[in-house]
Structure 1
């Protein structure tokens, strides 16, 4: 089983890189036959969705090489950890756009949410739950939500001690949900 850990911000100086590294570090220490892979949205340079076709009917044939690469990376994963900032009480536009470019690559898979923001990213998490439901995705109950005021030193995450246990629970739930989705 392969789980992609997606860095959902593309901004310069983004906090999400350090959060994603923290998630990957802890996930890589887990026992079992699950592989956790970093998927950095910024490295794909996904353009704005201007295409007239509906992604669900595109049969994974997209008009841009960057979207084809993004499609292949997402399609190769059985489940996901979305590391998401909260921007303006909602989800980051770049990640929402990249999610919107695809459909079958997400459909029926499982996801866990790790957020950060002024209010710990909880509003972004609630929006992601609604968005991902459209893809018939299972989003696990446990989430990790970190405060940019209390858990960061510049752009480096300094998670509260309890966050490691929260992440372990989220990953347990994600692995189980992914197995169920594959059955």
Structure 2
């Protein structure tokens, strides 16, 4: 479920221990410094996620992770981080013959984001060098449809850690590079399986569609799609002064922090997108867009319905905006159950439409016509 469709690979190194005085960050630092030259030569980007910084609470999502419907922003941030990766290296100690509770908790928050990706382990400890922690974790990751690779690094603290730092050696550094090498080969082999595993595509109106939350790697394509879709809106409303036409890729990147974005791909190509966020009691839906050559086949209606279904329980209605001259667009939203409302702040030259969450979708949305 990685959004990375190029030849590059993104490897996420996860520091599993969160306790004060931990060795995890030092071991992670050694591993990353050791493999980074080899990674650069093999088109691999190495990122780090320290679970102490991620700071996930004990699993607090009311929905099953397989549904991909996350109520909390900390879950959505973790989802974006994991989904963007093609493979993982877990740096883990051994606590009482097992893995840290923080690592198990981090696994449990998500489901589809882990699928069809390889994982390697760098373990550390005393007598067993943390190997029993890695064995316990392997039972969990295989259930998440991950593939543990054979190459590992096991550090016995007394032999390899001095003054809080890893005392590297030729053999140890070679073992780290071997982990990255095997991980990258398996990640590339599994790439075809990562095309789309989200169950929301089951009832899609067009075959071959995959739907997932947007990642940083989607931003360039999102910007192109947005500008293509808003050209028609600009013509209808006789103005180029539209926010979606002025936004930059940095603006879209910033919006990932305050909006939930969903991207729809067809055979790897981005063909549709939508975003939404809660605003007091409203579920605000925007940037609904479908590529012009994909219009007319139901993707827009399906995607709008999906976005409506993601509304948090505390919201009472869905709201969207469109241009005041977009008569056909307004008419179609009204047939879908939305009604015009003049309450609250409304952007200039725009129309606000709202729909109670309990009202079923009754009409079709004009596919390919954007919602501001």
Q: Deviations over 1:33-83 (max 9, x none)?
A: 1111111111111010133321112x2x32222221111111110101111
User: Which residue in the other structure is 2:15 paired with?
Assistant: 7
Give the structure 2 partner of residue 80 of structure 1.
Answer: 88
Residue in 1 that maps onto 2:177? 168
Note the 1:91-170 alignment, pairs <5 A. Answer: 91-118=99-126, 119-170=128-179
CA distance in 1, matches of 2:163, 2:64: 40
Aligned counterparts of 1:152 and 1:85: Cα–Cα separation in 2: 13
Match of 1:149, SS? helix
Q: Based on CA coordinates, which of the two structures has the bigger radius of gyration?
A: 2
Pick one of 34, 56, 61 that aligns with 1:51.
61
Once residues 155 and 134 of structure 1 are traced to their aligned partners in structure 2, the CA distance between those partners, rounded to angstroms, is 34
How many matched pairs? 181
2:99·2:137 contact (CA, 8 Å) conserved in 1? Answer: yes
Shift of 1:85: 0.9
Partner of 2:34: 26
Determine the structure 1 residue equivalent to 2:47: 37
Which segment drifts farther, 153-162 or 129-138?
153-162
Instruction: Name stretches of at least 5 consecutive residues in structure 1 with no aligned partner.
Output: none
- Return 5+ residue gaps in structure 2 as ranges: 1-8, 193-372
TM-score, normalising length: structure 1: 0.93
Counterpart-to-counterpart distance in 2, 1:74 and 1:18: 22
Q: Does 1:178 align with 2:191?
A: no
Say which SS state the counterpart of residue 11 (structure 1) adopts. coil
**What SS class does the counterpart of residue 129 from structure 2 fall into?**
coil
Is the contact made by 1:85 and 1:121 (CA closer than 8 Å) also made in structure 2?
Answer: yes
The structural deviation recorded for 1:160 is 4.7
SS of 2:149's equivalent in the other structure is: strand
Partner Cα separation in structure 1 for residue 52 and residue 147 of structure 2: 25
Conserved? CA contact 1:146–1:159, under 8 Å: no
Please give the root-mean-square deviation of Cα atoms over the aligned residues, in Å. Answer: 1.3
- The alignment status of 1:16 with 2:24, answered yes or no, reads yes
What SS does the aligned partner of 1:105 have? Answer: helix
CA contact (8 A) 1:55 1:102 kept: yes
